[in-house]
Chain A
């Protein structure tokens, strides 16, 4: 089974490639890059990628697929379908399912369900502690054998520094990174949005930035103490970004990710249109689709995230895709669950950063492919090295489109981005050499690009 992706513009930061090339794939593996003039290998299927960007398959290292236990929100199959529609060849599933993924049986179940769906590859993340309760270590070694790529207690962060130290030391022995959702619950307890002007105006209990910052600083100190690999999830605060920057300066194995909503929106979104509570068209106040953890922050924190994306402090972009049923999100703001879906809006929102010259396209590929593979030590992907898994994401950086939540492949619709106009999107996703997602307009799109290119000649 041979596949040639021809006439595309290949970006592979790992190998320092940023040029027009054909990509040749055979039997689910990368064979290599070829010149446009090399012609089509015998018996190869061809995808014309004229005018498009061809990148190593994107990895979303932080999603919630809800299965087992909460299949009414999402299943592994529906989540994997949303993943490939958003351009992701690989997603990492957080363990806060029911039961919690704290043992090898659950890990194997997730992998089997994902194989059955046969879309994006799903790599499970195991719990750090049993039932994510923060008191006893989970069977990390067993789960590693079953296929986990990291450990995390995500939404229920390990509460004490002493327990976190043990976890780091133990996980180090299995060469697994610890992914921490930094949130000191004694500071955040009861909070439902960022603490600041808008929480005061809306009368909602705030979550101070310090709740994230003190835990980020704690984790960096513990990374130094233990020598473990520590990855801070969805960093949303200036203090969090600064902690990672300092740790990296010291040479510690600390990395971090940010989520698209945290740079796209600010906390005034909770107050509706232009932050002015009023029952008017457009955004409504107290929209529970603006409620997530960590919460949308104020402008200064957003600036810090953008700086981190620009200067390399931020390693990865992850969506924190968190589906919830409409019935749950229809509750009062303080009663509704935290979280929004994000697999199908992630790349579009990141392309905004390219459009506004915050980051380059090359850096975007680094954030979605090269770095997540490095952080998780997934040596078989994240690059077009010969012999790597043939995971490919094809990006159209120019087309304008509108995100319509009801067309989402996810089972849930909880997003603040419904109806948002975007420029640029993933238009094809290839997983292990198999085309698992092709934008409905793909052939029309490339035909028009090809004829434009011919005219130019």
Chain B
């Protein structure tokens, strides 16, 4: 793996390896001295063309806990309005020989453009409506932590599927690891083609109740306020009534169902505060796992020759548990069938 551009192009084996590596890094954040020298002397550039607090901070902390030098660049102007083009920016950064460039951009495919001019490993930290691979990985790590394994789980994703890179990455990842996915949201925000996005199919429900029924995991997506002015739905109030997750929905889900949200939340709109702050909410666990996942990604891409070091193989075998082992076994089965 040279870059991390999307989940769609990863094998289940690669995903499990990333998750196992992340698991081994989780403890570092719980130590008194939260730093290991794994990426000492390496440079990581966080190139953010869209405002982001959580993801940018998470990548920065991840890089620093691995002793890499992290540089943050926030670019508020898009290439068309003024200034240099994305590729020129990338060429200039490349000239400073970074080992890894983490990019967040409002245009789908922007990370692919960077790979054309950069030798550095490129990490997609969210590109338009395309993918947000580290979000899906941290969601998977969180699910694995609480459910042991992803295989066989029923996952409901609620909200703006059309514009959501989080939904796409999660649908790919969860289905590759053997979960089944159902989605629900306003008709304007759930494209019909989503049913056949992946080979296994995605269940499309009109009502949130039907998607949530018997679900082991409920993922709620953030609703963008500008969708209302673009006439995707009539009002925030109506959205909250019909497509917001309420406590009574949870009674339809599996008894030990967990609830996730990629943040930032609109409390009282897509998710009620009772759920967000309740015992089933893993929203802060997600944030904590985000650091571990990003450490794993940076480590695997930016460590010497970008290849896996022997050290990580050891860690991997020590730390692998339920989900990882099962995930890999399942992949081998699939591999032999193909």
Contact = CB atoms under 8 A, between A and B. Distances in A.
Interface of A: 196-197, 200-205, 276-279, 284-286, 327, 330-335
A286 B85 contact: no
Contacts of A277: 5-6, 8-9, 112
Given A277-B9, A334-B128, A335-B80, A202 B108 contact: yes
Interface string B101-113: 0000101111011
A331 B85 contact: yes
B112 A197 contact: no
6 contacts: A200-B194, A200-B197, A204-B129, A279-B2, A332-B113, A333-B108
Given A203-B128, A203-B131, A332 B107 contact: yes
Contacts, number: 74
Nearest to B129: A203
Contacts of A196: 193
A286 B193 contact: no
A357 B129 CA distance: 41
Interface string B193-205: 1101100000000
Contact of B107 (A197, A279, A330, A334): A334
Nearest to B161: A200
B191 A286 contact: no
Nearest to A190: B230
B129 A327 contact: no
A197 B128 contact: no
Of the listed residues B78, B113, B127, B196, the one surrounded by the most CB atoms of chain A closer than 10 A to its CB is B113
B108 A197 contact: no
A74 B196 CA distance: 42
B119 interface: no
Contacts of B128: 203-204, 334
B299 to A, nearest CB: 20
Interface in B149-204: 165, 168, 191, 193-194, 196-197
B235 interface: no
A279 B129 contact: no
B112 A327 contact: no
B163 to A, nearest CB: 8
A332 B79 contact: yes
B2 to A, nearest CB: 7
Contacts of A203: 108-109, 127-131, 165, 168
A286 B113 contact: yes
Contact of A327 (B8, B85, B197): B85
B109 A279 contact: no
A333 B105 CA distance: 12
A279 B112 contact: yes
A204 B110 CA distance: 12
A277 B3 CA distance: 13
A201 B197 CA distance: 7
Given A331-B86, A334-B128, A197 B6 contact: no
A-B pairs, top 9 by smallest CB distance, nearest first, are: A203-B130, A286-B109, A203-B129, A332-B107, A203-B108, A200-B193, A333-B109, A334-B107, A278-B9
B191 A200 contact: yes
B87 interface: yes
A276 B129 contact: no
A297 to B, nearest CB: 14
A204 B85 contact: no
B87 to A, nearest CB: 6
Contact of A279 (B3, B8, B79, B193): B3
Of the listed residues B78, B112, B168, the one surrounded by the most CB atoms of chain A closer than 10 A to its CB is B112
Contacts of B8: 201, 277
Contacts of B194: 200
A325 to B, nearest CB: 12
B116 interface: yes
B201 to A, nearest CB: 13
Interface of B: 2-3, 5-6, 8-9, 78-80, 85-87, 105, 107-110, 112-113, 115-116, 127-131, 165, 168, 191, 193-194, 196-197
A197 B193 contact: yes
B115 A286 contact: no
A296 to B, nearest CB: 16
B100 to A, nearest CB: 15
A286 B108 CA distance: 8
Given A201-B8, A203-B165, 20 more contacts: A196-B193, A197-B193, A200-B168, A200-B193, A200-B197, A202-B108, A202-B109, A202-B130, A203-B108, A203-B128, A279-B2, A279-B112, A279-B115, A285-B109, A285-B112, A286-B109, A327-B85, A331-B79, A332-B86, A334-B108
Contacts of B113: 286, 332
Contacts of B168: 200-201, 203
Contacts of A285: 109, 112
Nearest to B78: A335
Contacts of B116: 284
A279 B108 contact: no
Contacts of A330: 85, 87
A278 B80 CA distance: 26
Nearest to B197: A200
Contacts of B115: 279
A197 B108 CA distance: 15
Of the listed residues A202, A278, A284, the one surrounded by the most CB atoms of chain B closer than 10 A to its CB is A202
Nearest to A196: B193
Contacts of B5: 277, 279
Nearest to B108: A203
A335 B130 CA distance: 15
Contacts of B191: 200
Contact of A331 (B6, B80, B193, B197): B80
Contacts of A205: 129
Contacts of B130: 202-204
Nearest to B230: A190
Contacts of A327: 85
A204 B197 contact: no
A18 B105 CA distance: 58
Given A204-B129, A286-B112, A276 B9 contact: yes
Of the listed residues B3, B107, B165, the one surrounded by the most CB atoms of chain A closer than 10 A to its CB is B107
A277 B6 CA distance: 9
Contacts of B109: 202-204, 285-286, 332-333
A330 B9 CA distance: 24
B197 A197 contact: yes
A279 to B, nearest CB: 5
A277 to B, nearest CB: 6
A2 to B, nearest CB: 55
Contacts of B131: 203
Contacts of A333: 107-109
Nearest to A334: B107
Nearest to B122: A279
A277 B131 CA distance: 12
A204 B108 contact: yes
B57 to A, nearest CB: 24
Contacts of B3: 279
A21 B165 CA distance: 63
Contacts of A335: 78-80, 107
